[in-house]
Every structure is written in structure tokens, then in C-alpha cells.
A and B are shown apart, each in its own frame.
Chain A
Amino acid sequence: MAESFIEVSDLTVKFPLEDRVVHALEDVSFTIAENEFVALIGPSGCGKTTILNVLAGVVPPSHATRLTLGGRALHQVPRGTVGYVFQDPILLPWRTIEQNVRLPLEVLGLETPEYEHRVGELLELVGLTAFARGYPKQLSGGMKQRAGIARGLVFNPSLLLMDEPFGALDEITRTNLNAWLQDLWLKTRKTVMLVTHNVLEAVFLADKVIVMASNPGRIKDVLAVNLPRPRTLEMYSSPAFVKEAAIIRESLHRDAGPAEAMA
């Protein structure tokens, strides 16, 4: 394929806030290949989530010279191309876990036997088969997040957007879920864009890390992660892993003000 799966050139997003204009993103350009796992990392307010929101069609771009997904202009992309996993899993409390996972099928009109079958398969894949008929309030935070991921994948989107999916979880659960997410990705081979605050998470999961800076939101560096797959939890302490993490950390902190360096 000559062109990349996602092409973004000079993307600017601004919105008014009280009496001023906030530049959430200014002239952001990047490309992402099909089946690539990309992590977006940067300080709070650098527009990471805004990039996902633009690609999901939730936030309109103020300006862009090129904005394509799978070779189509973003606004012509058919429904069901993009799956979105949110920071807060947003399960609907009045639906069972199974019904929550099925929601996108109902919305997209995909209630065919093969997709219905996928609901069961995905619940199996995220380890929630036993809770299929349970309600969200009976689940732990990690389980809810896995249900949210199943919902994001159920309609077989070609791009999966993940906004700090494990940000609210404890370190142990997060590390386990990262390993699980890599397995899932190796099985499904989606194009994934993952927003994270966590350098180790980015190194562990991503093929490519986009490092961002804030005020205005912009891209600082795009760094490849040269580590073999599947990556294991033991690799965290390997010299290669530590080196990759150091490169990303250096990029994050370079030219950053004291507030930005907090990332």
C-alpha cells in the first residue's frame, strides 16, 4: 500500500474557553501504518485525547491539510470503522455485561448471527464469560475496563482508539492487563492508538511512540520501539527495555518547563 493507513497533516484544533482561544492541537502531522500499535505520550493538556477524539469523529478539526483513514477522508469513513475505549469504561449500568458489549452491534445495525457470535467470543477473550449476565456494579475496575475493550472490538473495527484505558487501575492490575492487551493485539492485529501517561506502558506495548508537548499541543518526536515481540514482563529490567524507556523519557523532558516535566 502506497499510502499509510492513517495520514494526518497540519491538524489544528482550537476551541473558545471563556475569553480566550485554546489551541488543543497546532499543526500536528503523523502517519500510522496498518496493524501498527502506536502510543501517544505527553503531559496533561497536550492534546493526546483530542487526537483520538478527532479520529473518532467526536471533535471536529479546526483545520487540516490532510486527514485520511484507510484512504478515505475522515468524514467519509463508514460507521463502524473506529472502536473507542475510554478512560472511564462507561458501561451502561442498566445493561448486563453481555448487553453492554453488544451495544455497538445494535447501534450499527450489525445484529447478524456472526456478530452475535463474536459477543460470546470476545467475552471469552477478555475473561468475562462468567459475568456475562452480571451488571456493571458487580464488577471490579479492571473487569469493567476489559468489558469496555470487548465492546470496542465487538464490531471488528479497523482502528482501535484507547484513551488511558488502565490509567485508573493499580500498578499490578495495570501491568497484568498490559501483558493481556499485547496478547489480544497479537491475536487480533488491529491498528491501535493508545494514549498513556506511563513511559513503561508505552515501551511495553507500542511499535511507535509519539511524544507530545503542550501549550499549544504539538508533536515533539516520533520514536520507534525496537524490541522483539512478544514482550514479556521480565523484559522490563532488560538493558534494551531500559534504554528505550530512557530515550522516551529524555524526549519528554527536553525543553519542558517544570510543569510539563511532571509527566
Chain B
Amino acid sequence: MSPGGRWGARARTRLEFLATTLAVLGLWELVPWLGLPAFILPPPHQIVAKFVQIYPGVFSHSLVTLVESVLGFMLAFVSGFPLAIGIVHSRFMEKTVYPYVVAVRLVPVISIAPLMVIWFGIGMSPRVVVSALVAFFPIVVNSVVGLRSGAAEALKLMHSLKATRGQIFWKIRLYACLPYLFSALRVSATLAVIGAIVGEFVGGGNKGLGAMMLEAQAFMYTDTLFVGVVFSAVLGLLLFGAVALIERRVLFWHESVTEAP
């Protein structure tokens, strides 16, 4: 297919997507005409108007949640990845720690959140911890799989050279793990935002998107709730995008990354 044709096809898909979105928003605008009150489902223009009215607050709440999510995400990474390395290299840790990691993963984090508030007080720290907790497990589990993968063939090469365990780790396992690690990081990035907002829901306080939404709920400001939902999604997208961007830089050698035309 000619490049022009491909661009044409892409433009067409985009146009179709835009048209569908506009159609849905248009239908949504008609909802009040069906007699549904605005506090149940406010029409899009009302949500936009609300945003314009309160946007400085929305931005500062979003910033708080963003900082919590990023800190939680980083905390999950700096604790989860070394733990995975420990599990892969120590039979003792594999037998004692890893089963708990797998088991604790099954506990819904929201049920741990109140405990975190008691342990870490109110303010930012319990939210960061809850965010880190949710983001933690995919990183550990995927890293363990990735570090073990080490491409059996590459290990045969290293064994034929009589390489040491350290050499195999630094030259093979670490790199072979990266594709697995990044697919976990993409999941964890969005989970970190969820964790931060759950922390805000449970922990009280008046900062962050979660706090903003709780307050809006109390006053039945449904339009503000929608603004909160949209910005939560934007935060998730932001973190996901940042990870994907880094991934493209780091994993340029991987088959999944095709070269730019």
C-alpha cells in the first residue's frame, strides 16, 4: 500500500472516531429532555461549564493526586524490583517470601487502606503507601517471571563460556527481564493512580481528586464528580504515556518496537 493510502486510511479512522464521539455527546445532551434530572446525569455542556468555573481547584487537586501516584509508583518500583531479584536468586526467599507476595496479592487493597490510615496518619503518606501497594504486585510477579526467562538459549551460550552467576545476571537476566518489567510498569502506572484515589477516599483530608469527589458527592454536585472522573482518567493516561515513552527509549532493540518509517 502506498504511504498516501495508509495516511488516507488513518485519517478516515480518526474521522470515524471523532464522528462517533460527537454523536454520543450529542445524544447525551438530549438526556435532560427525557426528564432525567441533572444531579443524576448532567449534560456535557454543564460539566464543561462547571470545569471552567472551578478549574484552578481541579488542577491543584489533580496535582496532589499526581504527586501521590508518581511517588507511590516509584516506591513500588524501588521496592518491588529488588525484591524480585532476591526471590530469583535465593531459594530461601523464593520459598518464604514469594508465597506471601502471591497470597497478599489476592487481598483487595481497598480493605487494607483503612489500616494504612491508622499506621501512617492522615495526609499524603497513607495515600502514597496505598498507591505503592497496588502498583507493587504486578512489578514483583512480572519481574520474577522476566528474570527467570533469561532466554534459555542465551543461558546455554553463557554456560558454554563458563560465565559466573553475576555475569549471567548483569549481561543476560537484567536485559531479558526488561520487556516483562515494562509491561508490568504500564499496568502499575494506572494502578498507582487508582491506589492514590482510593487512599484519598478512605483517608479523609481535603486535598486530591478523591477528596474533591467525596465532597462533591456529599453535596450532590454530580457535574463536579464527572470532572473528577475525567481528570482521574487523564492522570492514568499521563502516567501510562510516560512509561510507554521511556519503554520505547529503553526497549528500542526489542522485536515489539518497530522502527519509525
Contact = CB atoms under 8 A, between A and B. Distances in A.
Given A57-B162, A79-B161, A107-B171, A90 B253 contact: no
Contacts of B175: 92, 94
B28 to A, nearest CB: 46
A107 B163 contact: yes
A103 interface: yes
B153 A88 contact: yes
A56 interface: yes
A106 B253 CA distance: 21
Nearest to A77: B162
Interface string B133-171: 000000000000000000101101111111100010001
Q: By CB atoms of chain B within 10 A, which of A56, A82, A90, A135 has the most?
A: A90
Contact of A108 (B154, B161, B178, B255): B161
B158 A107 contact: yes
Contacts of B187: none
B14 interface: no
Contacts of B160: 56-58, 82, 84
A95 B253 CA distance: 8
B156 A58 contact: yes
A71 B175 CA distance: 38
Contacts of B12: none
A58 B159 contact: yes
Contacts of B163: 107
Given A56-B160, A79-B162, A106-B171, 13 more contacts: A58-B156, A58-B159, A58-B160, A79-B161, A86-B153, A86-B157, A90-B153, A92-B175, A93-B253, A107-B161, A107-B171, A108-B161, A137-B255
Q: 6 shortest A-B CB distances, which residue pairs? A: A84-B160, A56-B160, A94-B253, A94-B175, A107-B161, A79-B162
11 contacts: A56-B159, A57-B162, A58-B159, A80-B161, A90-B153, A92-B171, A92-B172, A92-B175, A93-B253, A106-B171, A107-B163
